[in-house]
């Protein structure tokens, strides 16, 4: 096949099509427009460059659509070209990505961050964080005081990634209908808590970092970190810089799945190389926000059952009474966290 024919074929067939035909399924929860995650069992492949590129996050394998066919099937290049040619015109099962971004020019990262307001009670971002994801209001207010939260468009949340100098270099973007990272930004670390902490809890998302802080009661000497769902060289360097502190404990609080265990192993290796203590703190659900939501749901159910019983008891003693409920911006039970629901390996 001539070079021109290969280029035309490469333009016609997406890496996503090859993965779907091979039995991989999209992980919408963990995907963004620029990095689409596909799974088949414990195997993960990330598709990039609008379907034209891919990489294996657990190894150094990467390439184009032909390289993907070779990687998946263990076949030589000529056979890979035939396999790719056989699926020209394949329609993906997933819907097209709906972008929430405008076409305005990209401004300086710092200017873009400073131009956004901080979340406030009742705003779309506040409702998403405190009502939709059950982050306690005390935790949200602390993050605002530390300058690591901003309101994104369409009720989304921006959670800052900062470098060792404290400069905002990017941010995680999460919302009811959006998941991504700052265009032109760099993934380093989201940081929540005292900068001189002797205990570092590393999670995979800012919402998980804040959720774990709520579950643990935001321990005094703990800095809660997020890698933003990836592991960039800048992230690795930032963690290595933190890990050399005397008396430090590095806690791998990554997700309870295969990828989370891979990240935990990287942290163990880093801890051994740095000479600090290491622990694996595994969530009893998929991630720490799910643990937090399960706990809050159970608390509400217990409270609802108790209130119903109290009402029945009062009804037997009081006639003509009426219940009065003061309006509130935040659902009950959002103010504090505890150490319930935390498992150590």
Within this chain, do residues 243 and 160 fall inside the same structural domain, yes or no?
yes
Within this chain, do residues 70 and 167 fall inside the same structural domain, yes or no?
no
For residue range 231-258, list pLDDT tens digits in order.
888 898 999 999 999 999 999 999 999 8
Residues 6+ apart with CB under 8 A from 172: 157, 158, 159, 161, 181, 190, 205, 206, 226, 228, 229
Does residue 304 form part of some domain?
no
Does residue 306 form part of some domain?
no
pLDDT for 309 equals 65
CATH at 258: 3.40.1360.10
Residue 315 pLDDT > 70, yes or no?
A: no
Domain boundary among 253, 282, 311: 282
The sign one gets for the Cα dihedral 18, 22, 27, 30 is negative
Residue 151 pLDDT > 70, yes or no?
A: yes
Domain boundary among 239, 259, 282: 282
The structure tokens listed for 219 are: 């321990």
Within this chain, do residues 68 and 201 fall inside the same structural domain, yes or no?
no
Does residue 320 form part of some domain?
no
Within this chain, do residues 264 and 127 fall inside the same structural domain, yes or no?
yes
Does residue 288 form part of some domain?
no
Q: What average pLDDT does the segment 290-317 reach?
A: 77
Q: What average pLDDT does the segment 198-209 reach?
A: 97
Domain boundary among 259, 282, 305: 282
Residue 72 is part of which domain span? 3-85
Q: In terms of DSSP bridges, do strands 190-192 and 222-226 run parallel, antiparallel, or are they unpaired? A: antiparallel
Residue 318 pLDDT > 50, yes or no?
A: no
Within this chain, do residues 127 and 276 fall inside the same structural domain, yes or no?
yes
pLDDT for 308 equals 64
Within this chain, do residues 141 and 65 fall inside the same structural domain, yes or no?
no
Within this chain, do residues 68 and 121 fall inside the same structural domain, yes or no?
no
Provide the domain count of the chain: 2
Within this chain, do residues 78 and 153 fall inside the same structural domain, yes or no?
no
**CA-to-CA dists, residue 154 to 24, 175, 179, 344, angstroms:** 31, 8, 12, 37
The structure tokens listed for 149 are: 């939260």
| pLDDT band for position 100 (cuts 50, 70, 90) | very low
For residue range 118-135, list pLDDT tens digits in order.
999 999 999 999 999 999
| pLDDT band for position 214 (cuts 50, 70, 90) | very high
pLDDT for 325 equals 36
| pLDDT band for position 218 (cuts 50, 70, 90) | low
Within this chain, do residues 153 and 202 fall inside the same structural domain, yes or no?
yes
Higher-confidence position of 154 and 341: 154
Beta-carbon count within 10 A of 107 CB = 12
Within this chain, do residues 275 and 159 fall inside the same structural domain, yes or no?
yes
The sign one gets for the Cα dihedral 117, 123, 125, 126 is positive
The structure tokens listed for 68 are: 């993907």
Does residue 24 form part of some domain?
yes
Question: Strand 157-162's sheet: what is its strand order?
Answer: 149-151, 157-162, 168-175, 178-181
| pLDDT band for position 12 (cuts 50, 70, 90) | confident
Poorest-pLDDT segment among 85-94, 96-105, 266-275: 96-105
Question: Across the chain, what does the average pLDDT equal?
Answer: 85
The structure tokens listed for 215 are: 């579950």
Could you tell me if 125 and 155 are in contact, meaning their C-beta atoms sit under 8 angstroms apart? yes
Which range has highest mean pLDDT (144-153, 258-267, 304-313)?
A: 144-153
Within this chain, do residues 77 and 129 fall inside the same structural domain, yes or no?
no
**CA-to-CA dists, residue 181 to 94, 101, 217, angstroms:** 21, 12, 28
CATH at 24: 3.90.580.10
Within this chain, do residues 152 and 265 fall inside the same structural domain, yes or no?
yes
């Amino acid at each position: 096949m001539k070079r021109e024919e290969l280029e035309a074929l490469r333009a016609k067939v997406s890496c996503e099509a090859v993965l779907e035909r091979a039995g991989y399924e999209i992980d919408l929860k963990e995907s963004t427009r620029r990095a689409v995650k596909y799974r088949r069992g414990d195997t993960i492949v990330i598709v990039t460059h609008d379907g034209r590129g891919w990489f294996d996050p657990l190894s150094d394998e990467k390439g184009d659509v032909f390289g993907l066919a070779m990687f998946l099937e263990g076949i030589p290049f000529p056979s890979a070209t035939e396999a790719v040619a056989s699926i020209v015109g394949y329609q993906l099962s997933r819907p097209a990505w709906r972008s929430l971004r405008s076409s305005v020019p990209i401004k300086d990262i710092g200017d873009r961050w400073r131009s956004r307001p901080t979340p406030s009670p009742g705003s779309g971002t506040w409702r998403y964080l405190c009502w939709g994801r059950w982050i306690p209001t005390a935790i949200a207010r602390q993050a605002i005081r530390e300058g690591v939260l901003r309101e994104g468009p369409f009720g989304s949340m921006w959670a800052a990634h900062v470098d060792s100098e404290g400069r905002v270099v990017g941010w995680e973007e999460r919302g009811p209908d959006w998941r991504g990272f700052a265009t032109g930004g760099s993934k380093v670390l989201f940081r929540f808590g005292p900068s001189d902490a002797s205990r570092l809890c590393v999670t995979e998302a800012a919402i998980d970092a804040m959720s774990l802080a709520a579950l643990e009661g935001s321990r005094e000497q703990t800095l809660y970190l997020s890698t933003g769902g990836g592991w960039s060289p800048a992230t690795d360097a930032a963690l290595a810089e933190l890990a050399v502190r005397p008396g430090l404990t590095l806690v791998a609080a990554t997700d309870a799945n295969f990828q989370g265990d891979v990240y935990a192993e990287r942290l163990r290796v880093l801890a051994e190389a740095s000479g600090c203590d290491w622990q694996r703190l595994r969530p009893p659900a998929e991630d720490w926000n799910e643990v937090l939501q399960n706990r809050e749901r159970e608390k509400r159910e217990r409270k609802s059952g108790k209130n119903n019983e109290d009402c029945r008891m009062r009804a037997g003693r009081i006639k003509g009474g009426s219940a009065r409920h003061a309006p509130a911006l935040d659902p009950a039970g959002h103010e504090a966290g505890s150490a319930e629901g935390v498992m150590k390996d």
